């Protein structure tokens, strides 16, 4: 079924800037059976029970909400700075072109809870690393990161090590039969 998921990902060259090959998940989302397969594959990689799903804005919300329902966990939206209406924990992080920040409500995660971070494509891992840091600031434990697509060449998983990263699809694609 993984092959079917790969075939539903659209490659968009030169988006959002020249030289970038964007992996568009929209065609997969249009097919409810494939969306179900992707959610099931994400659930299969969850490292034990979790209390909260921290979903990264914006496409992480799609998968995070589905995982929260499947796992019976609370959903915590991690938003860009200034988008949440209550007191927040905020973590600033560096991008290749400047800085950004993510925030969660201060009362969204409790000390000692097990938290799974969810996103669609973590790219260089900067946002995922900030999400792990915001979880740590609450006194909770980031037990893993689940993503639909991992862009292995960008080494995003290294930025969150030793937190385990579970990805359903990887680019470049693994060779069939490779060990």
Report strand pairing: 10-13 vs 21-24. antiparallel
Annotated catalytic residue, options 59, 133, 136, 137: 59
Beta-carbon neighbour count of residue 179 at 10 Å? Answer: 3
Yes or no: say if 28 and 36 are a contact pair by the CB < 8 Å rule: no
Q: Is 96 a catalytic residue?
A: yes
Query: In a 10 Å sphere around its CB, with 0-12 CB exposed, 13-18 middle and 19+ buried, how is residue 22 labelled?
Result: middle
Residue 63 exposure: Cα atoms within 13 Å on the Cβ side: 34
Angstrom distance (rounded) from CA 97 to CA 174: 30
Beta-carbon neighbour count of residue 142 at 10 Å? Answer: 23
- As a dihedral over the C-alpha atoms of residue 39, residue 44, residue 50, residue 52, rounded to 10 degrees, the angle is -20
In the 8-state DSSP scheme, what is residue 55?
A: E
Q: Where in the sequence numbering do the catalytic residues fall?
A: 59, 96
């Amino acid at each position: 079924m993984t092959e079917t998921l790969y075939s539903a990902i659209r490659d968009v060259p030169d988006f959002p800037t020249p030289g970038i090959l964007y992996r568009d998940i929209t065609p997969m989302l249009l097919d409810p059976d494939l969306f179900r397969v992707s959610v099931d594959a994400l659930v299969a990689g969850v490292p034990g029970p979790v209390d909260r799903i921290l979903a990264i804005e914006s496409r992480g919300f799609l998968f995070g909400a589905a995982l929260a329902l499947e796992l019976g966990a609370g959903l915590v939206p991690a938003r860009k700075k200034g988008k949440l209406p209550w007191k927040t924990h905020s973590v600033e992080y560096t991008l290749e072109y400047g800085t950004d920040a993510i925030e969660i409500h201060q009362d969204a995660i409790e000390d000692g809870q097990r938290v799974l971070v969810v996103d669609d494509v973590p790219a260089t891992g900067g946002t995922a690393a900030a999400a792990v840091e915001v979880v740590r600031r609450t006194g909770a434990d980031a037990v893993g990161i689940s993503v639909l697509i991992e862009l292995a060449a960008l080494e995003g998983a290294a930025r969150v090590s030793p937190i385990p990263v579970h990805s359903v699809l990887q680019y470049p694609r693994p060779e069939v039969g490779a060990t």
